[in-house]
Structure 1
Amino acid sequence: MSLFSLIAVFLIEQFKPLDYRRIVAEPLGLWAGFVESKFNAGSRHHGVAAWLIAVLLPVVLVGLLYVLLYSLNPLLGWLLNVGVLYLTMGFRQFSHHYTEIQLALRLGDLERARQLLADWQGIATQGLSARDVSRLSIEGALGASHRHVFAVLLWFILLPGPCGALLYRLALIVRDRWTADAPTAHNEFPIFSRQAFGIIDWLPLRTTAAAFAVVGDFEDAVHCWRTQPALWPDRDLGIVLASGAGALGVQLGGSVIEEGEVSDRAELGIGDPADVDFMQSAVGLVWRATVLWMLLLFLLGLASLAG
């Protein structure tokens, strides 16, 4: 059922791309903000209670709904799987931005590529070179493929029905919303949301990095994975970026010029500087990793049938 659900979501997404920000991110962000407004007293134990209501309660309710629908008709349970997966994962959340940036760079329209990157990632892009835009786009695509595809897919497999997919998406949105809303260092409310998401994302980060290594340059990917993530600001996401950069044989990270100022960042990867050709290579890496996942799901399904 997992494989058929995944195939169905990919097909639906091609014909009806989802406006993720408007339909998913904003409503769930409002839900996270509502729960925060009722519980945030600045203490950690309030954050624990709020997280249980904001994240765990919806997951349990959806799980109960899945059990009910499946008991009535397995097809109804499958439809719920497809619906939740469609809302919580997908390539189109980032692929159209990436494709348009790649096209603009190939046409030599650097200004448009900068603007598209700014619209996608919400960063200042004035003064970025074509290599900088390529580098930041590849980083964004590798990170987004983990957040929107591979991590959601793993949790979808680990938990029954659509519970895992919803758990990952809600935990990420709640963490980001509560962390952004906690400007003071003494506010302990968002601590548990960060810790909980760190636990939830621990295994997906490493399976995504492993998938990139398997379908790319394995030795360089493993070397970069072992030696470079600790230097990245977000060490966890640095695991995925370092492995992806090593698998591609490209240099990511490093300094970029933003609005006339140099932004120093750790270097990731081994090989040549990023350019528009490496952007296409990154697309191939993500798709090969996706095929690897689908093959594993197929083999698991065969093993289940044989058992």
Structure 2
Amino acid sequence: MLLFAPLIVCVLALAFDHLMGEPRHLHPVVGFGRLATGVEKRLNTAPGNPWRSLLAGLFSVILLTAPMLGLAIWVSLAVDGLLLVLAQVVTLWLALSLRGLAEHGKAVAEPLREGDLEKARDQVSRIVSRKASALNEQGVAAAATESMLENGADAVFASLFWFLVAGIPGVVMHRMVNTLDAMWGYRNPRFLYFGRVAARLDDLMGWVPARLTALTYMLLGERTLAWWCWRTQAPQWDSPNAGPVMAAGAGALNVRLGGPSPYPSGVKHRPALGGTQDANAVSVEAAITLVRHGAWLWLGVVLVVTAVIFLVVR
């Protein structure tokens, strides 16, 4: 029973996510984000001073993560049996967002399918930072497809990975670091140095999960094209983790992503990713399906590995 506990936790957490989704009120990640906003306003007082800003960012990361990580470690050591399994299930469920990901993606795909571009723009503005009003139909679909692929890595596969590797402390630490990177990891005057520690920690914690995610997308899609995109297009991407994930995902779906994208600060020219087909409502839904099937694949792999270990040690 103990050997199969990680598999049981993953299955139950994904089941909770499927049935209930994310808590609508009092979500701990939302609360952590609000706390991080308050800390940043108080401590990020010298963005023009590189060393002072960098040290303030380091101190802020430690201040925000150390108490929660300590609590997670204490729970893992002080609790056992069914109570520990329950704590693991709840923690992983709160870190996962497969249903939320699908809901956001479908909210964009449905108006696109119906020809309601304005509604699709409004919905995509909720999940990406691009200037939605400047996006055409293909641009909206591409933005949503990219969001599904990239957030599949952060909100689904990385959470599963860190639970399997380090239990509750791993899940909690990754979710905190990923949240701080999402809030502070901007290359603008205010966060260029202050957010650097959070950004580098997120790169470090996401390195292995991102490549496992890329492998997952490749195995479940057009393998040859996905592999080619991963090897040739991903290195051109700024992010060491988003590049492999989105390149392999775009290739797996044979959809064209990347390229020029409008942001409030101007047009950002990004390397092209994927194949030859334009993004549309179908590609958004296909990306959701790819992430969902990937989660099932991971459960299958965990089952096989657990069964092999069981047969060896019995």
Give the shorter-chain TM-score range. 0.7 to 0.9
Contact 2:177 2:202 in 1 (8 A): yes
The equivalent position to 1:13 in structure 2, one of 5, 10, 17, is 17
The equivalent position to 1:77 in structure 2, one of 80, 84, 93, is 84
Q: How far is the alpha carbon of 1:224 from its aligned partner?
A: 0.9
Equivalent residue letter for 1:201: G
The equivalent position to 2:61 in structure 1, one of 51, 59, 69, is 51
- Where do residues 1-307 of structure 1 align in structure 2 (5 Å cutoff)? 1-19=5-23, 23-36=27-40, 42-70=52-80, 74-159=81-166, 161-179=167-185, 183-184=189-190, 188-256=193-261, 263-306=268-311, 307=313
Deviation string 1:152-208 (CA, Å, 9 cap, x unpaired) is 11111111x3111111101111233344598348x7443322222221111111111
- Would the alpha carbon gap of residues 181 and 278 (structure 1) be closer, same or farther in structure 2, given more than 3 Å must change? closer
Q: Distance in 1 between matches of 2:198 and 2:263?
A: 31
Deviation string 1:31-58 (CA, Å, 9 cap, x unpaired) is 3345556765725445444433322442
Q: How far is the alpha carbon of 1:247 from its aligned partner?
A: 1.1
Contact 1:62 1:163 in 2 (8 A): yes
Task: Quote the sequence identity (%).
Answer: 25
- Would the alpha carbon gap of residues 106 and 169 (structure 1) be closer, same or farther in structure 2, given more than 3 Å must change? same
Residue ranges of structure 1 left out of the alignment (5+ in a row): none
- Would the alpha carbon gap of residues 22 and 224 (structure 1) be closer, same or farther in structure 2, given more than 3 Å must change? farther
Q: Distance in 1 between matches of 2:288 and 2:187?
A: 34
Q: How far is the alpha carbon of 1:22 from its aligned partner?
A: 6.1
Moved more, 95-104 or 4-13: 4-13
Q: How far is the alpha carbon of 1:283 from its aligned partner?
A: 2.5
Q: Distance in 1 between matches of 2:298 and 2:235?
A: 27
Contact 1:13 1:92 in 2 (8 A): yes
Moved more, 241-250 or 129-138: 129-138
Equivalences, count: 301
* TM-score, length of structure 2 as denominator length: 0.86
Q: How far is the alpha carbon of 1:211 from its aligned partner?
A: 1.0
